[in-house]
Amino acid sequence: MELHSGTFNPEDFPWQGLTLTPAAAAHIRELAAKQPGMLGVRLSVKQTGCAGFGYVLDTVREPDKDDLVFEAEGAKLFAPLQAMPFIDGTEVDYVQEGLNQLFKFHNPKAQNECGCGES
């Protein structure tokens, strides 16, 4: 995923937000049920791969002070405010591809995806 960064004040933007598909929400609820104290998952980005940025998904037991929280069907998706310029508008899905089940990210801001699997 290739995104372009720049200088911004996160509070100046009207965020579209993040969305979860029913499948993603169900999987997050399942994860939370198996891990006492888990509140949801956090979506952020890191610089990696040949296209610039990759997604990072972590479990959340305690929200960070700069987290925004998006909720769908009883599942919570946290996102650090600093990541919003890169991930705003992203839909998080949970799909089966062959024998694998994984989260997929549909980001309207992504311009390129690489084949290395990192970004």
Q: Kindly list the strands in the beta sheet with 91-97, ordered across the sheet, starting from the edge strand earlier in the chain.
A: 19-20, 91-97, 100-106
Is 5 contained in some domain? no
Q: Is residue 3 part of a domain?
A: no
Domain annotation covers residue 6:
no
Q: How many structural domains is the chain composed of?
A: 1
**Residue pLDDT tens, the chain, 119 long:** 444 444 445 556 677 899 999 999 999 999 999 999 999 999 999 987 665 788 999 999 999 999 999 999 999 999 999 999 899 999 999 999 999 999 999 999 887 665 544 44
Query: Which residue range is the domain that position 32 belongs to?
Result: 18-106
On whether residue 64 sits in a domain, the answer given is yes
Integer Cα distance of 27 and 96 in angstroms: 12
Domain of residue 34, CATH code:
2.60.300.12
